[in-house]
Structure 1
């Protein structure tokens, strides 16, 4: 089976504040459904109040990130699924719960992971 990253940036969620509890409940229900189906690997939202840190090969840590990844935020789910079609089906469920489109990407197969 292949692992799939299903994600969205924070800016994609244009939900009125009053509706956020309903969105959270719907998202938690989809996560529970994925767990019940045995396809959930992990997921969550990026804590945007904690700045990214780069750690060099020598262990030096410094605030910042790669320029091309400065916009990594939002929500992420990793599911292990039997097919790309199944990934699209789960992405549709997550999109409905979060009320925004989801990006789907497949992880490369690595027999050691």
Structure 2
């Protein structure tokens, strides 16, 4: 089993305000389905109103992120699945619920995690 990151940037989710509660309901239903299937690891959205910081090994904290790197935002779901095909199927379910395409990335295997 591999872990997959299924995500979208915040600006991809263009939902009229009057439909937002329906999107919340349907996306939560997909997450509940993933939990019931035993594949859910973690999910959530990046708090876009909280600025990122960099922390050095000596504890120094600076505002921002790596030069040339965009600040991640939007929604993220991590699922543990038997195949890439299964990840694509779950991504499609999330895309329908969130009303925007999803990016699928596979985590490298790490025996310690």
Same fold (TM over 0.5): yes
The alignment of Structure 1 onto Structure 2 pairs a total of residues equal to 113
Alpha-carbon separation, structure 2, partners of 1:23 and 1:68: 33
**CA shift digits 1:1-60 (9 cap, x unpaired):** 000000000110111011000000001000000000000000100000110010001111
Offset, 1:101: 0.1
- Cα RMSD after superposing both structures: 0.8
What residue ranges of structure 1 are gaps of 5+ in the alignment? none
Residues of 2 paired with 1:24 and 1:55: CA distance? 33
Aligned match of 1:63 = 63
Give 4+ residue runs of structure 1 displaced > 3 Å after superposition: none
**Aligned equivalents of 2:68 and 2:79: distance in 1?**
25
In structure 2, the residue matched to 1:22 is 22
Q: Normalised by the size of structure 1, how large is the TM-score?
A: 0.97
Unpaired stretches in structure 2, ≥5 consecutive residues: none
User: TM-score, normalised on structure 2?
Assistant: 0.97
* SS of corresponding position for 2:57: coil
